[in-house]
Amino acid sequence: MGFEDDLSLRSEIDNLCAQYAHLIDDDWLEELPGLFTRDGIYRVQTRENHDLKLPLSLIYCNGADMLADRITALRTANIYEPHVYCHMLSALRILGGEGAGWRVRSNFVVVRTMAEGSQSLFASGRYFDRIVRVEGALKFQERIAIVDSRQIDTLLVIPL
């Protein structure tokens, strides 16, 4: 059976992606680095830079520690108007096996709600993931969120 037909693998990957979104949307951000391997990469990049093959990211964490530092910073140092996200995930596809893991892509839409109630479509885009199994559990070896718009409204503090 190929990975394409492996429903239990698909469901496990789907669950990892949902868990990632729920940790953010439910404000359990401190748990987020735990979904990555220690040397895992997390990047948020605009589609503009991605398509132009330019290396710049909006957020570039090379290692789970850098992501953990970002979470600590947004809790303790950064100043911004309180807001929450709602992730809508769809179109998850396992693109292929790679080494001991899998390449996966999916789509996302993130609605941002400010404390005073105004809502906006903050970001839409695609996740490109490399997922591996570490001690029985699936983890992100790499998660790249490619946002469709080149524009970020006001600021980006909570990971997408």
Partner 1 sequence: MSAPFAWPGEDVSRAPYRVYTDAELYAREQQLIFRGPTWNFVGLEAEIPNPGDFKTTFIGDAPVIVTRDAHGVTNAMVNRCAHKGSLVCYRQRGNAPELTCVYHNWTYDLAGALTGVAFRRGVGGKGGLRADFDMKAHGLQRLRVETYRGLIFATFADVTPDFADYIGAELIASIDRVLIKPLKVLGYHSQILPNNWKLYAENNKDSYHASLLHMFHNTFGVVRPTMGGGVKLSENGWHHLSYTQREALADDHIATEKVRSMQETYKLRDAGMMQHQLELGDLVTNSIQTVFPSLVVQQILNALAVRQLIPKGVDRSELIWTVLGFEDDPPDLQELRLKVNNLVGPAGLISMEDGCVGGWVQRAAKADPDAQSIMPMGVGVEPSAGSRVTEAAVRGFWQGWRACMGV
Where does this chain touch partner 1 (CB under 8 A) — which range of 9-17, 40-48, 90-98, 135-143?
Answer: 40-48
Rounded distance between C-alpha atoms, residue 7 and residue 148, angstroms: 29
Task: Identify the residue among 6, 19, 31, 60 touching partner 1 (CB under 8 A).
Answer: 60
Asked if 35 interacts with partner 1 (CB under 8 A), we say: no
What is the Cα Rg of the chain in Å?
16
The residue from 7, 52, 88, 121 that contacts partner 1 (CB under 8 A) is 52
Q: How far is CA 19 from CA 55, 59, 115, 140, in A?
A: 28, 20, 24, 12
SS3 127: strand
Residue 38 or residue 133: which is nearer to partner 1 going by CB? 38
Residue 64 corresponds to which tokens in the numbers above?
A: 């789970």
Segment interacting with partner 1 (CB under 8 A) among 62-70, 90-98, 124-132, 136-144:
62-70
